[in-house]
Structure 1
Amino acid sequence: MKKISLIATTLLLLVFSACRDDESIIENKEEKEEEIIDLTDYSDWDDATHSKSAELNYDVVFNQNEVLRFDITIDNDDWSDMQTNLASVLSSSGGRPGESIDFDDPMFVPCSFKFNDTEWYHVGIRYKGNSSLKSAYQSGIKKLSFKLDFDEFEDDYPAIKNQRFYGFKQLNLKNNFLDPSLLREKVGADLFRQFGLASSETAFCVVYVDYGSGPQYFGVYTLVEEVDDSVIKSQFADGSGNLYKPDGDAASFARGSYNTSEMELKTNEDSANYSDVNALYNIINSSERTSDAETWKSNLESVLNVDGFLKYLAANNIIQNWDTYGNMTHNYYLYNNSENNKLTWIPWDNNEAFQEGKRYSTLSLSMSEVSSSWPLIKYIIAQPEYEAIYEGYLQQFIDEVFIPSEMISTYSSYYDLIKEYVYAEGSAYSFLSSDSQFDSAVEKLKTHVQTRNNLVESYLNE
């Protein structure tokens, strides 16, 4: 009986072992199926164009004298996944036009990215935007904005570890939504920079996307530098400080609005120290503002680059950029400059500037209508010393930067540069109803600069 029992036990062990082996085979098979087999030919890879060690090449990437051409190839299955994912994230969103909409970023998929007959490999591409993304999508226009991340898929494809595009890790392809001139995004960013403010570099480009049926012309885009990638590295000391992109009620800094979840930290996420924006919130709303103004101003200037903020307000109000602080709780960054440990204002998103607000009124030059819901304007401009500095910057901006003759020349030059590419946009890939709409919009910009100059002169001479 013992011998029979031993044989039975042995058979059971053999069966159990065989089952375990089968399970291992199945698991290994599944792992192999999930494993990405990389058969890519990386022959275009060159350290000067692809590696992390490459210097930021602004002359090539943000060439001001040409319309760049980008060719993007996306696997048809990945393209389908992008569309399904976009429909899903937008279907669950809400919000009124012009306001931030709460939804997750759309998914990244890999693509082949070509420029000047050179390929960048497995580049991450996703849709980007907020209300503009939803509005354009719902209107049936396929010319949507994209974000590019050149090493998004480095874990799947180790050969592209730290891949860069002439030194740049991320870039934005903005579709110039609600801008029939297609110039505002670029001109706005350029003017801020010319006035000595931190702002993204820009360039004009055309985009072709092949998702299975050959290259499709997606139209004229504005290539915009990513703030948390290269702006803080190239325009500040070292880019090591906290960078925030506030979005939501907390972005107003109004009393009772402070919320770290709405102070999106774009750098130093692991340490997540919000003491700098918390200090700004506490100081701007401090009772010392009325009881001891000098102490309040001193404390405020210790955490915020107030002079830079006043300079930004002057430029922003003159060009009439309504879709930002003072009307909307989004479209700016705050960077803690390691050189002085002060938060610096960085403007973002200019496609709806250079016109009277379509959804909300643009701020007047005096900003007297601004309520305490926007304390960074209301409380700062109420100080006579700061108001005088602001008015000095109004004059400086029209004297040195927003000069009618120079702006008209710039508008004409850009019009000539992109005209043929704008006219070539197909109806499904354009926000324009006709070529003449583009022509007319550029002419309105030329009129706008003189009108705004006249208004500033009148305001300052009252």
Structure 2
Amino acid sequence: MISDVTMQLAAATLLAASLLSFATGCGGDPYADSAQAFDRSVLHRIDITVEGEYIPELETNLDARVPCTFTFNDVTVDEAGIRQKGGLNSLTNLDTDLGLPKPSFSVRLDEFDENGDLYGLRKIILNSAVQDPTFLHQHFGSDLAHKAGLPAARTSHGLVNLNGVPLGIYVVTESIDTEFLGRVFGAENDQGNLYEGRKADFTETAKLELKDEDDERTREDIEALAGVVLSTPPDKLEETLRLWMDLDKFITAFAFETAINHFDGFAFNRNNYYLYNNPEDDRFVFIPHGMDRIVQLPLGESDTLGDDPEALLPQLILQDPRLKAAFLTELTRIANNVWDMPSIFAEIDRIAAVVGAAKVTGIRAEGDLSAFNSNLTFWRDALTSRHETLVSATSAEAPQSPAE
């Protein structure tokens, strides 16, 4: 016989679960489930099945998604869409394990079923990390960005199989999309204009990709911001910029890219970035991106202190005494307060315990695992060296308050 106490406990448990479910749908965090995709305590298993008739298109067409079945751990999405991600030179044979360069993938979970999702995510990126043998650059960059107060994609690791063939270790990366914007800025602020910059300054507005431009969106906002940067007199620049963008966040982002030596980012290569017009205050926010090649370049004065940026706004910041002082203050803050070596090393150790001990099969996966384990010491040394140089340089270039 079931006791009254047992029945009361069961009822209480059911009520608590119902209230939690209600809270999630009515004022709770609608993005909480998505954290499961970026759990670094496990090496995620990702199985992708593409029918043979679609393989040629997947191998040769970077624009069109083909149908696939996508399984992430124990969650299966039957009508997802997949395409290769990257440039034409990255295209490779997908259906054999020949040790060829690994492809990166963009997977749209709702491509062929509007209700398709993975833990609430509509899209996920599988980065091959072919330019990062440590598989840790994006993790470090994203973590440091978050600690510095910047929005950035979440990351984890996964073992990817395509039609049963092991493709290797991948960096699972959050897509910069509506779900990301809702998580970062709030669900009520996820419909602003989102621009992606690839090898173009945002002042070159026609070269930017406006997401969902077909939904009757216009570029008037980015054109106005570009006009401010291109035409505002120096003595009015800061005041005017603050009307159009979160300038403090942008200065932090410039300092952040400088700190991690993101030579392929916005400031130094006009590449790998997003700008989002946040509906909350109708101002642009900068989002760093594409941090798979950072830290490791030989260091020089321009690397350390951002003295020679390619992008126009960082140049103007360094020409303005007040803004340059703010930049140096942020660079110093990142060096001394954000870049915490013990916590960074602890995170590397946690990831190494998961990824480094993985059991893998296949030429690509075995090569990835070997590269990961053999590069751990190099990565720790590179981070230590970069941090020491950064601390030394910012101490020598301590910001001075400009005359009012």
Alpha-carbon RMSD: 2.8
Does the Cα contact within 8 Å between 2:169 and 2:365 map onto a contact in 1? no
- 1:234–1:389 distance in 2 versus 1, CA, 3 Å: same
Q: Which residue of 2 aligns with 1:232?
A: 181
Q: Which residue of 2 aligns with 1:424?
A: 360
Aligned length: 365
3-state DSSP of counterpart to 2:266: coil
In structure 1, distance between residues paired with 2:329 and 2:86:
35
- 1:393–1:428 distance in 2 versus 1, CA, 3 Å: same
Task: Provide, for residues 290-319 of structure 1, a one-character-per-residue CA deviation record: whole Å limited to 9, x for no partner.
Answer: xxx1x2211111112111111112222111
Matched to 2:175, the amino acid is E
Work out whether 1:299 is the aligned partner of 2:240.
Answer: yes
Matched to 1:72, the amino acid is I
1:280 to 201, 225, 243: 225
3-state DSSP of counterpart to 2:57: helix
In structure 1, distance between residues paired with 2:395 and 2:171:
38
In structure 2, distance between residues paired with 1:351 and 1:362:
22
Q: Which residue of 1 aligns with 2:311?
A: 374
- 1:120–1:328 distance in 2 versus 1, CA, 3 Å: same
Does the Cα contact within 8 Å between 2:129 and 2:170 map onto a contact in 1? yes
Q: Which residue of 1 aligns with 2:14?
A: none
Matched to 1:405, the amino acid is P
Report the alpha carbon displacement of residue 231 of structure 1 after superposing the two structures with TM.
Answer: 1.4
Does the Cα contact within 8 Å between 1:142 and 1:218 map onto a contact in 2? no
3-state DSSP of counterpart to 1:327: helix
Matched to 1:453, the amino acid is H
Work out whether 1:151 is the aligned partner of 2:110.
Answer: yes
Does the Cα contact within 8 Å between 1:355 and 1:448 map onto a contact in 2? yes
Matched to 2:69, the amino acid is S
Q: What TM-score results when the alignment is normalised by the length of structure 1?
A: 0.72
2:51 to 62, 65, 75: 75
Q: Which residue of 2 aligns with 1:319?
A: 260
**Deviates most, 225-234 or 438-447:** 438-447
Unaligned runs of 5+ in 2: 1-20, 397-404
3-state DSSP of counterpart to 2:325: helix
In structure 2, distance between residues paired with 1:135 and 1:420:
28
Does the Cα contact within 8 Å between 1:404 and 1:446 map onto a contact in 2? no
Work out whether 1:127 is the aligned partner of 2:69.
Answer: no
2:322 to 385, 395, 401: 385
Matched to 1:204, the amino acid is H
In structure 2, distance between residues paired with 1:136 and 1:310:
43
In structure 1, distance between residues paired with 2:361 and 2:313:
42
Does the Cα contact within 8 Å between 2:129 and 2:292 map onto a contact in 1? yes
- 1:396–1:461 distance in 2 versus 1, CA, 3 Å: closer
Report the alpha carbon displacement of residue 444 of structure 1 after superposing the two structures with TM.
Answer: 1.9
1:309-388 matches, cutoff 5 A: 309-356=250-297, 363-370=302-309, 373-388=310-325
Task: Provide, for residues 431-462 of structure 1, a one-character-per-residue CA deviation record: whole Å limited to 9, x for no partner.
Answer: 75x82x43342212212222222222222222
Does the Cα contact within 8 Å between 1:313 and 1:390 map onto a contact in 2? yes
Does the Cα contact within 8 Å between 2:262 and 2:294 map onto a contact in 1? yes
The percentage of counterpart residues that share the same residue type is 23
1:249-288 matches, cutoff 5 A: 249=200, 251=201, 253=203, 258-260=204-206, 262-267=207-212, 269-286=214-231, 288=233
Task: Provide, for residues 332-355 of structure 1, a one-character-per-residue CA deviation record: whole Å limited to 9, x for no partner.
Answer: 000001122111110111111121
In structure 2, distance between residues paired with 1:184 and 1:205:
15
3-state DSSP of counterpart to 2:357: helix
Report the alpha carbon displacement of residue 55 of structure 1 after superposing the two structures with TM.
Answer: 3.7
Report the alpha carbon displacement of residue 287 of structure 1 after superposing the two structures with TM.
Answer: 5.2
Matched to 1:396, the amino acid is R
3-state DSSP of counterpart to 1:147: strand
Does the Cα contact within 8 Å between 1:55 and 1:166 map onto a contact in 2? no
Q: What TM-score results when the alignment is normalised by the length of structure 2?
A: 0.82
Matched to 2:305, the amino acid is S
Pair member with larger Rg:
1
